[in-house]
Chains A and B, each alone.
Chain A
Amino acid sequence: MSGFASAVITFPGSNCDRDMADALEKVSGNAPHRVWHGDAALPDGLDFIALPGGFSYGDYLRSGAMAARSPIMQAVVEAAGRGVPVLGVCNGFQVLTESGLLPGALLRNAGMNFVCREVRLTVENSQSLFTSGYSAGQEVLIPVAHHDGNYFADDATLDRLEGEGRVAFRYAESVNGSARNIAGVLNAAGNVLGMMPHPERMIEAEQGGIDGRTLFESAIKGLVGA
């Protein structure tokens, strides 16, 4: 797959940026640009932007709060507005809600515990750019590793998300107390996905499964063709 231009943003405290870059390179064949949070601009001509997991700014104030106000995020918000696909995983999801690109917020896990294990997810929407390679209702196995993954939004927002098919993934088991077991949500235009589970940790058999690979394959295929 040639010509796929992606970027992985690294914040101080990101720790899944290399895994994300590795996944994008292995699936697309092209190494992503590595972009630092203090940069004011993104490389030109990006097809895809990824916000990785980690503990940006030590989770100070709120998870993702400081990163959401870093210089590069203005460029990410602007790019998302132009329709450039943005994937936020784990801390990246928290940054997306804090920056206002996605609705809701991620609270401390209901059980107070850091949850680090493989969990079963149900694919709720298989029509999006990120999920077209899955079938609706398909169950997939993808790991989570987070303390603040308890998705919260008011009931009206949750109803709207469900009604518009913007719940991409749901936990098939109890994980962190998330409202309606929501694990991943899309923005209204469908080009921004935030999810707590780590698809980049399931892209080759050696990692215990390839259920996450489908997400990257779907996006890359949708953007530059097979």
Chain B
Amino acid sequence: MKVRVFVSLKNGVLDPQGRAIHHAIEGLGIHGVKDVRAGKMLELEVDDSVTDAQLDTMAKQLLANMVIENYRIERVAA
């Protein structure tokens, strides 16, 4: 089964990358975008036996740095 882990910066953590992307969007001549925050999405192919608790452990201990990031786990139906 496919699992997606979305990792995003916590509120208040400076995101220079998002700011640069925002600037580039303005360069496209498109206005009205107020802010951009860049994150990452990891796609895992896992056995059905992998539990929610194990996914949580993976996210907490490795995929996200809890000092600066939040994560959200999504199981994708096959």
Interface residues of A in 100-119 (CB under 8 A from B): 103-105, 107-112
Whether a CB of chain B sits under 8 angstroms from the CB of A36 is no
Interface of A is mostly: loop
Q: How far is the CA of A111 from the CA of B61 in the complex (A)?
A: 29
Is A156's beta carbon under 8 Å from chain B?
Answer: no
Contact B14 A177 (CB under 8 A): yes
Report the count of interface residues on A (CB-CB < 8 A): 19
* With known contacts A65-B62, A65-B65, A98-B65, A152–B16 Cβ distance under 8 A: no
Please tell me which one of the listed residues B14, B16, B65 contacts residue A62 in the complex, with CB atoms under 8 A apart: B65
Smallest CB separation, B24 vs chain A (Å): 12
State the CA gap A100–B17 with chains docked (Å): 25
**Closest beta carbon of chain B to A95's beta carbon, Å:** 12
Considering only residues 33-77 of chain B, those with a C-beta below 8 Å from chain A are 61-63, 65, 67-68
How many A-B Cβ pairs are below 8 Å?
Answer: 36
Distance, CA A61 to CA B28, complexed state (A): 29
Taking CB atoms, residues of chain A closer than 8 Å to B13 are 107, 152
CA distance A103 to B67 in the complex (A): 8
Which of these, B20, B62, B67, contacts A112 with CB under 8 Å? B20
A177 to B62, CA, bound (A): 25
| B59 vs chain A, min Cβ distance (A) | 12
B16, A109: Cβ atoms closer than 8 Å: yes
Q: How far, in Å, is A61 (CB) from chain B's closest CB?
A: 7
Which B residues are within 8 Å of any A CB, using their own CB? 13-14, 16-17, 20, 61-63, 65, 67-68
Which A positions have Cβ atoms within 8 angstroms of B?
A: 61-62, 65, 69, 97-98, 103-105, 107-112, 150, 152-153, 177
